[in-house]
Structure 1
Amino acid sequence: MKSTTINVGISACVLGEKVRFDSGHKLNRFVANELTRHFSFLPVCPEVGIGLPVPRPAIRLISDQQRIALVEAKNPDNDFTAPMQHYARQKVAELSQHALCGYIVCAKSPTCGMERVKVYKHNRADKEGVGLFARELMTQMPWLPVEEDGRLNDPYLRENFVSRIYCLHDFYQSVGYETEASKINAADVVAFHSRYKLTLMAHNPRMYKQLGQMVATFRDYEPERFFYDYRLGLMQALTYRASRNNQTNVLMHIQGYFKRMLSRQEKQELARVIQDYRIGELPVLAPITLIKHYLQAYPNNYLQQQRYLEPYPQALRLRYNL
C-alpha cells in the first residue's frame, strides 16, 4: 500500500532546532506555520552529524586551487572536509530510503547552502560555492526538488518548489518508488503523464514534447531506465518558472474545451479574465477559479483530472500573488 506521507528533508536549524554554531536557529515561519501541516519533515544538521558541539567555532569553505575544503574559520588546520564528505554520502543514502519528495536547505551555509556560498581564497571571499552536504545531496538525487530557506520568501519560487514536491509524491504514488522501478507499467505511466500535460505545457513546452515522446515509446526502454530518465526529465522541466505567456496559452487551450457549452456571455467573461491575467491585472488564480466554476456546470473528465488546476491543497494559498 502506498504511503500518503510526504517526506521532506530539511536543515534542522530551519525547522527551529538550536543547532547552529552560536546555539541559535533559523526558523522559517512559512515552514513552521504552513508546511508542517502538510509534510513530514526529516531534520538534519550535518555539522552536529559529524560530532561538532553546540556551540562551536564557525566553519567556512576555503580554496587552495586544488580542492575546496571545510575548515574552522579561525584555525584552518582543523579540517572537517573528509568527515563531512563521508557523513554526507552515508546520510544522503539513508535519506533516499525514505522516498524524499523535497529538501529545504539553509542558505549561505558551508555545509547546506545550495548556491552562492562564500569560498575564501587568500584575502577575498567569492560567492561561488555549494555546501558540502548540499552538493552530495544534489549529486546523489539530481531529480529532488531542493530549495533554500530564504528563497521561500519569493512567491514564485515558493509556489514552484511546493508544486514540484506534490508532483514527485504523486509520481511515487502512481508509478512506484525506486525499489519498484522494475515493475513500472505503461498504463500507470500514461495515466500519470496525462494528468500533468497542462502543467508541463505551462512550465516547459519543449520538455512537454520530449517527455510525451518518451511515454509514447515506453516499450523501447528498460523499466528502470525509463523510471530514472522520466523522473529526472519531469522534475527538471518543472524547475522552469511557468511564464505568463505559457500560462496564458494553457488557459486559452482549456478555454477551447468549453466552446460548445458556454453561452456567449460566459465565453466573453472567461476570455476577459484570461486577458486580464495576461496583462498582469489579475493573478492566475482568477481564471483558474472561473474555469473550476465552469467545470462544475459542464464536467469534462480530461480537464477534471489535470493537476494544473489544483497542484496542491488550496489551503496553502500559493497562487494568490502569481
Structure 2
Amino acid sequence: MTESSQTRRDDRIPVGISACLQGREVRHDGGHKHSRYCTEVLSRYFRFRSLCPEMGAGLSTPRPAMHLVDTEQGVRLRATRGDKDFTDLMEGFVAGALEGLADLRGFVLMAKSPSCGMERIRVYREDGEVGRRDASGLFAGALMERYPLMPVEEEGRLNDDRLRENFVERVFIYDDWCRLREAGLTPGGLIEFHSRHKFQLLAHCEATYRRLGPMLADLKNRPLDEIADDYIAAFMPAMAKRISPGAHVNTMLHLVGFLRDQLEQADLTLIHEQIEAYRRGEVPLVVPMTLLRGAQSKVGQPYLARQRYLNPYPDALGLRNRV
C-alpha cells in the first residue's frame, strides 16, 4: 500500500475526531487541544470529521466546566459548580448523532472529558468526592456501545508508539472490512479478507487465528451473514491486542517458511539474523520486515504478495520504525 495510491484521489479513510483536537476553540474555557499529529500526519490518510458533543448539544463556549456524578437516577452530567444538569441535552444530541457516524472507520477522542473520554473518567459522588475512575464520557460510551467493532482511541494514547501503530493498523483493516460489506458479501470475498489478513491476526492473537480458520472451512452450514458477523466480532477484538516481539518473531518465521526454497542461503541467513536482532531489541521491526518484503519481491511469491502483514498501512507513517 503506497502513499501515492492513498493520496492521488481524496479516498482518505473517514475517521471521526473530537473537534478540539483539530484546533477548534470549542472547549469549556474557549480553548482547544490541537493535535498536530492528527492534523499534519494522519490527515494525509484519514479524512477527519470533527464533532464536539457539548457544542452539538447546544452549549456555548465558554461554558461551565462539567463532570459526571453518580445519583439515584444514574450517572448525570453536571456543572462542577452549582447543580446545573446537562444530561438530557447531551443524551438527546448523542441519540441523534450516532446514526450519522455509521460510515466512520475509527474515532480519535479527547481524553479526560466527561463527554469524549474513552476510559478512566472520574465519577463523583453527590458530596463532591471522587467515587470511582472507571467510566467513559457520555458520548464516547454511547459511541463504543453502538459501534463495538470501530477502532477508538484517545489522542494522548497515540503518543505511545505501540498503541499508535495498533490503532492505525485497525483503522485500515476495519476500512477493508466495511468496503467488503458495502460491495456485497460473498463467500469468496470473506475468504479473501481472511487470507490477506491472516498473518496480522496470527501476530495479534494465535488462539483467535486458530479458531477463525475452521469457522470459514464450511460456509454452507450457516447463513453467510451470520458467519461473517461471528467472524468479525472475534477478529476485531483480537486485533486490538498488543503484539509482543515474540509474536512478531513467530509470524515472521512463518513467512520465511514460504520463501525458504526460493532464496539463496545468504539471503535466508541475513533475514534470520535480523529477526533475531529484533527479538533482542537491537533493531526496530522495520528492519527484518523490509528484508522480508524485499525477499518476497525478489522471488515473486504470490501468496505472500497478498499479505497485509507486510504492508498494513502506508510506509510514510513510519510506524514500524519505533516498535
Which residue in 2 is equivalent to 1:29? 36
Q: Which residue of 2 aligns with 1:232?
A: 233
Aligned counterparts of 1:190 and 1:224: Cα–Cα separation in 2: 13
Query: 60, 63, 66: which one pairs with 1:59?
Result: 66
Listed as ranges, the gaps of 5+ residues in structure 1 are none
Q: For 2:262 and 2:160, how far apart are their aligned partners in 1?
A: 38
Q: Which amino acid aligns with 2:110?
A: C
Equivalences for residues 176-195 of structure 1 within 5 A? 176-177=181-182, 183-195=184-196
CA distance in 2, matches of 1:83, 1:223: 41
Cα 1:123–1:54 shift into 2, 3 Å: closer
Q: Deviations over 1:171-214 (max 9, x none)?
A: 222x223xx6xx42100011111001110000011111222222
Name 2:178's counterpart in structure 1: 172
Q: Distance in 2 between matches of 1:225 and 1:42?
A: 31
**Aligned partners of 2:233, 2:277: CA distance in 1, in Å?**
35
Matched with 2:112 is 108
Instruction: Tell me the alpha carbon deviations over residues 116-166 of structure 1, each in whole angstroms, 9 at most, x when there is no partner.
Output: 111112242232211000011001000010000100000100000000000
Partner of 2:137: 131
Query: Which of the numbers 80, 94, 104 marks the counterpart of 2:86?
Result: 80
Q: Does 1:294 align with 2:295?
A: yes
Secondary structure at 1:56 match in 2: coil
Q: Which runs of 5+ in 2 are unaligned?
A: 1-9
8 Å CA contact 2:12, 2:44 repeated in 1: no
CA distance in 1, matches of 2:206, 2:253: 15
Please name the residue that 2:219 is paired with.
218
The secondary structure found in structure 2 opposite 1:319 is helix
Contact 2:190 2:228 survives alignment (8 Å): no
Identity of aligned residues (%): 38
1:66 CA displacement: 4.9
Q: Is the CA contact 2:208–2:234 (under 8 Å) kept in the aligned structure 1? A: yes
Post-superposition offset of 1:240: 0.4
The residue type equivalent to 1:73 in the other structure is T
CA distance in 1, matches of 2:257, 2:232: 30
Runs of 4+ in structure 1 displaced over 3 angstroms? none
Task: Tell me, in whole angstroms, the C-alpha distance in 1 between the residues paired with 2:43 and 2:235.
Answer: 25
Separation of aligned partners in 1, 2:262 and 2:272: 14
Q: Which residue of 2 aligns with 1:318?
A: 319
Shift in alpha-carbon separation, 1:185–1:69, aligned structure 2, 3 A? same
Alignment correspondent of 2:22: 15
- Give the match's secondary structure for 2:290: helix
Secondary structure of residue in 2 paired with 1:196: helix
The Cα shift of 1:84 comes to: 1.2
Instruction: Give the 3-state SS of the residue equivalent to 1:10 in structure 2.
Output: strand
* Residue 279 of structure 2 corresponds to residue 266 of structure 1: no
Which AA in structure 2 matches 1:200? L
Q: Using the alignment, how far apart are the partners of 2:203 and 2:174 within structure 1?
A: 17
Please, which of 127, 143, 153 is the counterpart of residue 147 of structure 1? 153
Deviation at 1:73, TM superposition (A): 1.1
CA drift of 1:94 comes to: 1.4
- 2:111 and 2:118 in contact (8 A); partners too: yes
Q: Secondary structure at the match of 1:308?
A: coil
Partner residue, 1:95: 101
Residue 6 (structure 2) aligns with: none
The residue type equivalent to 1:290 in the other structure is L
For the 8 Å contact 2:259–2:301, the answer to whether it is kept is: no
Quote how far apart the aligned CAs of 1:223 are.
3.4
Q: Secondary structure at the match of 2:309?
A: helix
Counterpart Cα distance in 2 of 1:216 and 1:49? 47
Distance in 1 (CA, whole Å) between partners of 2:106 and 2:233 is 13
> Structure 1's 212 and 160: CA in aligned 2 closer, same or farther, altered over 3 A?
same
Shift of 1:5: 3.7
CA distance in 1, matches of 2:122, 2:43: 30
Task: Give the whole-Å Cα distance in 1 for the aligned partners of 2:92 and 2:68.
Answer: 16
The CA distance in 1 between the partners of 2:20 and 2:291, in whole Å, is 41
2:56 aligns with 49
Per-residue deviation at 1:63?
0.9
TM-score computed with the length of structure 2 as normaliser? 0.93
Specify the code of the residue in structure 2 equivalent to 1:6. I
Work out the CA distance in 2 between the residues paired with 1:65 and 1:250: 51
